[in-house]
Structure 1
Amino acid sequence: MVPIDQLITEIWGEDPPRRAIAGLHVYVSQIRKFLRRPGQSESPVLTRPPGYVLRLGPDRLDFHCFERLVCEGRDQLRERRYQQATATFESALDLWRDPSLDDVCHGPILEGFQTWLKEARLECVEMLTDSRLMLGRHRELVSDLYQLTTEHPLREALHRQLMLALYRCGRRADALHVYQAARKTLNEELGLEPCRALQDMQRAILTSDDRLELHVPA
């Protein structure tokens, strides 16, 4: 249940108009008409004092479908079922139509939800990349990972994945250059050294660690 006061703040901020409650009732009425299906007696938007509730069945919202698919893919990745995990993560990302929620006004609730959505999508992309790397698809990942690290320069997991993909393509020098560039960015932007996983990847590349070689599951 979302209280009326919270909805008013979400729509109009800290300085709402005098007839904000009446305006909110108009908006709710319009949403009810929009969401009501033919033959349906009740709208999924319900009045529950002191506010409103949106009641929907399972998988009626695409982000619920996304969450379910990501959970399934994470389990498959953990169980080393990389083909299935790849297909599941791809299905989850197919639900996206970027940019999300950019065509609506943002209050504090929606702002937080949009941040969560972007983070959830990036985590899905990272897990999909891990599963593709385990399937030996490193060559097709390089260009995408270069773009992703440019868009998200502080995302260390993406740099680590790019380094591994380059190394497996025989581009050892390029992989080490990615590390140096990431380290420089982290130092300049945050005053931090790379995380342990990124440092371990650099050391493994410098020593040509056998664990970096691809071992495709049977």
Structure 2
Amino acid sequence: MRFKLLGPLEIVADRGKACTLSTPKVCQVLALLLIRPNEIVSVSSLVEELWADAPPRSAVTTLQTYVYHARRIFARQELVPQGRTLLVTRPPGYLIDVAEDEVDAAVFVRLTKQGRSLLDDGRLEEASRVLREALDLWGGAALANITAGAVLRGQITHLEELKIRAIELRMEAEQRLGRYRELIPELRALVSAYPLNEWFHAQLITALNRSGRRAEALQAYHDLRRILDEELGVLPTPEIQQMQFELLNVGQLPAPGRRPGGPVGARAHVRVAS
């Protein structure tokens, strides 16, 4: 079986038969269990996900009904081989008993860790390939067809942050291989999708400059400065301002070094007059 979370929730049986669930509350229960595969999710967490801080008096009984319906769907759609128990009751809650490679989110996390290790070992081509394989698992926003409660939203946000980190790692591998020109279209798409992510803007500035497009690199800096001013009333980080200074006064940015612990610079300054 395959459980797809990195996009709309979808279940695909071994024979390739797809099942898209339509009952919202049952979908929520399954999504929360699948995003934490082989972990016991407590009844209290599931109740909080479904009803926040206003659960009905019958919340536990109703939850048991949703679990029953989920099991019925698996059986009716013939998604689970005979003799296999997929949705397990285990105090103080429930768990989905699956292999790691059956849930795309779990495969994504594993491949991202593997890609980072390869990058740290200097195996750049392999790192780029593995990280691209991880990112190719995404088919849209995680659990795009689920109305998520607070518990599930936290898990989705975590996955989205891991996706950004995987992109950063793959960008580093590609840059260290000298593929600046090839990265430009993707970086332009990324700064459009994540306009406040200064790390992506910095990589676009660097890629343009290293491709002999200094004027466009300066324009990319001014685009970032305008976005930050309009949206947040702040300036780019000191590191990015230094990039502009070097472009204006030296004409060439140094080759990027190893990534820092996070995105370029720490934002701790506010807008100043210029």
Give the alignment's TM-score, normalised by structure 1. Answer: 0.86
Deviation at 1:13, TM superposition (A): 2.9
Deviation at 1:160, TM superposition (A): 0.8
Which of 165, 169, 187 does residue 207 from structure 2 map onto?
A: 165
- Structure-2 residue corresponding to 1:20: 59
Deviation at 1:11, TM superposition (A): 1.4
Which of 108, 114, 120 does residue 72 from structure 1 map onto?
A: 114
Q: Distance in 2 between matches of 1:193 and 1:40?
A: 61
Q: Is the aligned partner of 1:191 residue 2:230?
A: no
Q: Is the aligned partner of 1:208 residue 2:251?
A: yes
Q: What letter matches 2:243 in structure 1? A: M
Q: Distance in 2 between matches of 1:127 and 1:205?
A: 25
Which of 64, 77, 81 does residue 38 from structure 1 map onto?
A: 81
Contact 1:149/1:159, CA 8 A, preserved across alignment:
yes
Deviation at 1:27, TM superposition (A): 1.4
Q: Is the aligned partner of 1:2 residue 2:41?
A: yes
For structure 2, list consecutive stretches of 5 or more residues without a partner in the other structure.
1-39, 257-274
Deviation at 1:106, TM superposition (A): 0.7
> Which deviates further from its counterpart, 190-199 or 57-66?
190-199
Contact 1:11/1:105, CA 8 A, preserved across alignment:
no
Higher relative contact order (CA 8 A, sep 6+): 2
Deviation at 1:210, TM superposition (A): 6.5
- Structure-1 residue corresponding to 2:19: none
What are the within-5 Å matches in structure 2 for residues 25-104 of structure 1?
25-33=64-72, 34=74, 37-41=80-84, 43-104=85-146
For structure 1, list consecutive stretches of 5 or more residues without a partner in the other structure.
214-218
Contact 1:74/1:85, CA 8 A, preserved across alignment:
yes
Q: Distance in 2 between matches of 1:167 and 1:18?
A: 63
Q: Distance in 1 between matches of 2:228 and 2:148?
A: 30
Q: Distance in 2 between matches of 1:126 and 1:115?
A: 17
Q: What letter matches 1:40 in structure 2? A: G
Q: Distance in 2 between matches of 1:185 and 1:125?
A: 22
What are the within-5 Å matches in structure 2 for residues 128-139 of structure 1?
128-139=170-181
> Which deviates further from its counterpart, 74-83 or 106-115?
74-83
Q: Secondary structure at the match of 2:108?
A: helix
Give the alignment's TM-score, normalised by structure 2. Answer: 0.70
Deviation at 1:155, TM superposition (A): 0.4
Q: What letter matches 2:251 in structure 1? A: S
Contact 1:160/1:197, CA 8 A, preserved across alignment:
no
Q: What letter matches 2:80 in structure 1? A: R
Q: Distance in 1 between matches of 2:223 and 2:199?
A: 14
Deviation at 1:152, TM superposition (A): 0.8
Q: Secondary structure at the match of 1:71?
A: helix
Q: What letter matches 1:62 in structure 2? A: D
> Which deviates further from its counterpart, 124-133 or 159-168?
124-133
Question: For residues 159-181 of structure 1, what are the alpha-carbon distances to aligned partners after superposition, in whole Å with 9 as ceiling and x for unaligned?
Answer: 01101111122110110111122
Task: Report how many residues are paired.
Answer: 212
- Structure-2 residue corresponding to 1:216: none
Which of 126, 141, 158 does residue 168 from structure 2 map onto?
A: 126
Which of 186, 196, 199 does residue 154 from structure 1 map onto?
A: 196
C-alpha RMSD over aligned residues: 2.3
Structure with greater helix percent: 1
Q: Is the aligned partner of 1:144 residue 2:186?
A: yes
